[in-house]
Structure 1
């Protein structure tokens, strides 16, 4: 027993020595201090957001007339006569519609601008917005020739605005451009089957029979479908007439035959009379310079102050996130669209 206790004593002393050399853990910061740190971080984030917002506002405020700025693209930088590039990119919808309209207005008022290159890379968008742009282009072409240059895509509403060039305008498309998709769509979600499974009953309080005609939690009645078919047909007929009025080699019946919602690659679009030439930006600019008769010309592009969404995420990403967030919320709101639905994504609405 004495030998065993003697052997254990050094171990006990060694253990006591280890405990003596270990430093105690510091006490956690008081709760009030942790909340102070979190509050400062939140204030810092808010400050960053506000400063970015003020920066975007500052740029927009000090742009002449709130309109677009000019950026040199190509040609003779010191030439007085100009060709202006008006770009229509992405989904045609607010707030981008207003930017396009401001560019058209700027080109219309600038006497040094002798011609317009309408650059389109869009799957389409809202019916009203597409027609607003088309209407302003019709006014612009009365004094200045317009040549259209289609990039990756000019479908549905993207093709609709291209008609702003008129019968005398020339439409170029790249060899890989997709165009067409002529038609109208009203997005609608049918969740009636899901609602039945989970026991959801839609019972809106409304003042008229058709006030909730696009309710996603029930099927459309025959009367409701007839009304929306009429609305769709009205926009569809306008689309057909706009193309007929502005494509000199196509009559109404030919346009209607093409307007099935089908997409056309550039070669097929040219064969069917939807475009005039297959080429690139330099080809479109050369034709426009030939039309205007200018030897020396400064080609400029209109640019716009970046919004807060542009600064934080970039236009495309901000739009894409907003689209997904708003899609279900807006599913009961009727929005007629000239849009290429084959893309699988519907644009968000404002």
Structure 2
């Protein structure tokens, strides 16, 4: 028998059973749309930033380089201008070097130019463009060359812009020479055969894919490229003969084996005149111009988007080598020191 409940006491509710946890709802669709829109906005921002940097660089070219005081008398009116050629000779740096040369040519306060070279060389066309502008400059103002760490191949080619009257200085540890031409090319035909790759491009002419890395060069293709290389090679030799008064054609050809020369050997072979430093080259220019008080200035250019991208490219060597493979069929004749590795900006 149930015990009687006291009168007036409300009935007690039954205890609640524990409820199972609610499953987490899937993220709403709107959050994914927001993420996609954010990514698109970020990509758009980066593209606009790139276009703005290119816009600034394009419209700033007319102003020419800026002058930076280097040494000498800061109050002097007459100037010696340093035109620096550093790194691989290639766009966009070629255009900057040319603008510096043009600025030195038209500035009446610039009485002489120190051509400072620290380069392993670069593209054939770019090297000759710089040389051509230097020839015009030397008709108005004396040029003295100062070689730093390296002035090889195209770096030596542009040094010839100083002419027969221009004196070439090199530091005791400078490497120069490497006189010759190279067209970088990969031969991956053996690898292609192993993995079963067949190169079958659609082309309009027999020689359109002459540097295809997945097959060997045919005899006719090799004959054509040998002719192209020899023409650039002969031009290089003749440029040296024209501008080094103590060297004739046979002597230069004997030196033009692609070999690197130390400063001591280069001086013995007649490739340079003096072993010295920047101050020695400047002293020579003062002597040539008869200047006592002079302001030595250096032409500089603001860093552009291309500089940033190329610096990043040099830091990522793996990506550079992938790009080299993709561009290996593009012919580029170069006055370049090939054993330095991949060409910056061309990998």
TM-score with structure 1 setting the length? 0.85
Q: Rate the CA distance shift 1:78–1:324 in 2: closer, same or farther, 3 A.
A: farther
Alignment partners' CA distance in 2, 1:244 and 1:210: 34
1:292-307 map, 5 Å: 292-307=289-304
1:84 and 1:107 in contact (8 A); partners too: yes
- Tell me, yes or no, if structure 1 residue 277 matches structure 2 residue 274: yes
Tell me the residue number matched to 1:9: none
By how many angstroms is 1:325 displaced?
A: 4.9
Whole-angstrom CA distance in 2 between matches of 1:164 and 1:140: 9
CA 174–25 in structure 1, closer or farther in 2 if over 3 Å, else same: farther
Match of 1:219 among 194, 210, 216: 216
Shift of 1:224: 1.3
Structure 2 residue ranges without an equivalent (≥5)? 1-17
Helix, strand or coil for the counterpart of 1:119?
strand
Q: Which residue of 1 aligns with 2:66?
A: 69
Q: Which of the pair is proportionally richer in helix?
A: 1
Corresponding residue for residue 148 of structure 1: 145
| 1:213 Cα deviation after fit | 1.6
Indicate the structure (1 or 2) with the bigger Cα radius of gyration: 2
Alignment partner, residue 47 of structure 1: 45
1:241 is matched with 238
Structure 2 residue 191 is the aligned partner of structure 1 residue 228: no
Contact 1:56 1:305 in 2 (8 A): no
Using the alignment, how far apart are the partners of 2:127 and 2:200 within structure 1? Answer: 35
> Which piece of structure 1 moves more, 340-349 or 292-301?
340-349
Compute the displacement of 1:278 (Å). 1.1
**Deviation per residue, 1:218-260 (Å, 9 max, x gap):** 1111121111111111110110010111111111111111111
Give the CA deviation at 1:309: 3.1
Alignment partners' CA distance in 2, 1:51 and 1:347: 23
Q: Normalising by the residue count of structure 2, what TM-score does the alignment of the two structures yield? A: 0.86
Matched, 1:287 2:284: yes
Gap runs ≥5 in structure 1 = 1-18
- Report deviation, 1:45: 6.4
Which digits, 9 at most, give the CA deviation of each residue in 1:278-304, with x for residues without a partner?
Answer: 111111111111111111111111111
Kindly indicate whether the alpha-carbon contact (under 8 Å) linking 2:57 and 2:304 is maintained by their aligned counterparts in 1: no
- Distance of aligned partners of 1:200 and 1:334 in 2 relative to their CA distance in 1, 3 Å threshold: same
Task: State which of 155, 158, 163 in structure 2 corresponds to 1:166.
Answer: 163
Deviations 1:11-60 (A, max 9, x none): xxxxxxxx9xxx99997764423542564365356536645763674476
Q: Secondary structure of the equivalent of 2:323?
A: helix
Q: 1:194 to 1:283 in 2, by over 3 A?
A: same
Shift of 1:149: 0.8
Residues 206, 39 of structure 1: CA spacing in aligned structure 2 closer, same or farther, 3 A cutoff?
A: closer
